[in-house]
Amino acid sequence: MKIESTPSDWISSPCDALVLSVDENWKGREDLLRLNEATGDWLFPILQRGEVSTKPNRVTLLHAPAAKSPSTLVALVGTGARGKAPLDIPFRAAASAIRAVMTKNRSTVRVVGLAGSPLEERAVVAGAVSACTGQDLFRSEKSIFAPDTLQFAGFHSRQVEIGQIVGQSIQLVKRLVNLPPNYMYPETFVDEAMSVSQEAGISIEVWDLEQLKAQRCGALLGVARGSVRPPRLLVMKYAGTDTAMAPIALVGKGVTFDSGGYSIKPTDGMLTMKADMAGAATVLGIMRAAALLKVKRPIIGVMGLVENLISGDAFKLGDVLTARSGKTIEIHNTDAEGRLVLADCLNVALDYSPEKIVDFATLTGACVVALGNDVVGLMSNDLSWQSEIQSAANSCGEYTWPLPMFPFFSEQIAGKVADIKNVGDGRWGGAITAAKFLEEFVGSTPWTHLDIAGPAFADSSKPWADAGGTGYMVRSMIELLLK
Ligand SMILES: [Zn+2]
């Protein structure tokens, strides 16, 4: 797919689909006026009759007079009330419109307007590009047809470039999450990371089973024991263009399939557990985009890759594991495995003396109970680092919300046989006790934990995205890194 910014004269050259937005104040819109004039007052009477919804992300397809419009197919996407629309509008409206016109093969699709600021321009491009993939990876009859050329009329070329790189990185995350678990396991994730490292010029270090043993990653290895697929740990390094800056560490949970282990999940809960590696995929997507965009800040990416299965050798309830940091952990639930994987990954990240750490993990169902499917839970030992992430997310319309990290939550993870145990007492506050467990492994480094268990994977499709992996938080982190 070719992506280009075209001159602002979008009205005279032909294309196969034209995308415009329509809000409640459509009468004052210059682009709609131009199309109306070019088509001999075809558009406004339709709008006047209320045939076109201005509701956010609602798409109306119209067929314009062939000789007069640049395209016979005009997609109008609603953006609501100007000034009152939620911040997610540019990304979602663009994606919704593109999805509506991608039901068949079209050569050139042209997007007009939809954006004002540079931030909005790149959000529109990222939204349109990210919408071009779905979960039908193995279907012989595809339902989504990406156009050959996607044009953004009147957009600044740098914003198109940023939006394209971010949109493609979101596509990467979606694809990795959508790949079934018999295709996506620690070794194949490494293959994907290798090609990203080559494409984007990021150095990569792969820790295999021997190396993990040599490094005493006992918490991660405990989880991996039940699977015939050997675990891996990845350390990726992007040097940054300002090497004087201390690195940020991105840490990702990559459980490529989570059966729950002996604390086995019921079928309903297990079905989508291929998505339990979304944190690692998110880290890979952010690193790809950051490196291709040449952000200033050096970045260390640490991804822990395991399958959590059951076998005669799998870890058991009551086992005590020794993490790389030396801390001993009593296993009270083998389905609380993500925090064990992250315990060693966070400890590895500390080797690189990062200024700040952020981790991404589909960690707890409790976070989804607390915040719903569409909001990322933020938990931190450093409120200014947390709010830096939250304001970056706010600026691009990704939804995050903090949960409290009061010290008394730690009492719940005190161990009897070992230093700590891997779950709290009962279910209440389970997202927070999980974060308190992670906090044990970050020392005094500012750290924020992002529980993406809800937003990383969508059970059903939305106007702006197919069901499956979402690539959530890639945009927010790139906004933060571009600052
Ligand atoms: Zn689990």
CATH 3.40.220.10 residue ranges in the chain?
2-155
The rounded Å distance from CA 149 to ligand 1 centre is 42
Instruction: Provide the 3-class DSSP secondary structure of residue 44.
Output: helix
Taking the CA atoms of 54, 57, 63 and 66 in sequence, report the sign of the dihedral they define: positive
Per-position pLDDT tens, the chain of length 483: 999 998 778 999 999 999 999 999 899 899 999 999 999 999 999 999 999 999 999 999 999 988 889 999 999 999 998 766 678 999 999 999 999 999 999 999 999 988 889 999 999 999 999 999 889 999 999 888 999 999 999 999 999 999 999 999 999 999 999 999 999 999 999 999 999 999 999 999 999 999 999 999 999 999 999 999 999 999 999 999 998 999 999 999 999 999 999 999 999 999 999 999 999 999 999 999 999 999 999 999 999 999 999 999 999 999 999 999 999 999 999 999 999 999 999 999 999 999 999 999 999 999 999 999 999 999 999 999 999 999 999 999 999 999 999 999 999 999 999 999 999 998 899 999 999 999 999 999 999 999 999 999 999 999 999 999 999 999 999 999 998
The label of the residue with tokens 């996607």 reads: 150
Beta bridge partners of 238: 299
Cα–chain-centroid distance for residue 346? Answer: 20
438 in Cβ contact with 128 (< 8 Å): no
Decide which of 3.30.9.10, 1.10.10.60, 3.90.1300.10, 3.40.220.10 is the CATH code for 2-155: 3.40.220.10
Give the H or E element holding residue 401: strand 400-402
296 is catalytic: no
Instruction: Provide the 3-class DSSP secondary structure of residue 47.
Output: helix
* Tokens found for residue 39: 């088509």
- What per-residue confidence (pLDDT) applies to 84? 67
Looking at this protein, which amino acid is placed at residue 345?
C
> Phi/psi at 151 (nearest 5 deg)?
-110, 145
Indicate which residue of 34, 216, 265, 296 is catalytic. Answer: 265
174 is catalytic: no
Smallest Cα–Cα separation from 396: which of 457, 455, 477, 287?
A: 477
The rounded Å distance from CA 135 to ligand 1 centre is 23
163 in Cβ contact with 15 (< 8 Å): no
Give Cα separations from 278 to 176, 179, 461 (angstroms).
Answer: 8, 11, 18
Segments in 245-332 forming alpha helices (H): 267-270, 278-292
Cα–chain-centroid distance for residue 221? Answer: 26
Beta bridge partners of 360: 252, 450
* Tokens found for residue 435: 């974060």
- What per-residue confidence (pLDDT) applies to 304? 98
> Phi/psi at 159 (nearest 5 deg)?
-70, -35
The rounded Å distance from CA 222 to ligand 1 centre is 13
Indicate which residue of 297, 339, 421, 475 is catalytic. Answer: 339
* Tokens found for residue 15: 């294309």
286 in Cβ contact with 477 (< 8 Å): yes
Smallest Cα–Cα separation from 174: which of 469, 477, 481, 482?
A: 469
- Helix 430-439 to helix 338-350 angle (10° resolution) is 30
The rounded Å distance from CA 322 to ligand 1 centre is 19
Smallest Cα–Cα separation from 64: which of 41, 98, 85?
A: 41
Q: In the chain, count of helices (H) and strands (E)?
A: 15, 19
The rounded Å distance from CA 112 to ligand 1 centre is 45
Distance CA 462, CA 220 (A): 35
The label of the residue with tokens 């059951």 reads: 310
The label of the residue with tokens 């919704």 reads: 96
The rounded Å distance from CA 131 to ligand 1 centre is 29
Cα–chain-centroid distance for residue 238? Answer: 19
Cα–chain-centroid distance for residue 68? Answer: 41
- Model confidence pTM above 0.75: yes
CATH 3.40.630.10 residue ranges in the chain?
170-482
Looking at this protein, which amino acid is placed at residue 448?
T
Annotation: CATH topology of 170-482: Aminopeptidase (3.40.630)
197 in Cβ contact with 169 (< 8 Å): no
∠ CA 304-446-470, rounded to 5°: 50
The rounded Å distance from CA 337 to ligand 1 centre is 5
Q: Which residues are found with C-beta within 5 Å of the ion, ligand 1?
A: 258, 335, 337
Taking the CA atoms of 146, 459, 378 and 237 in sequence, report the sign of the dihedral they define: negative
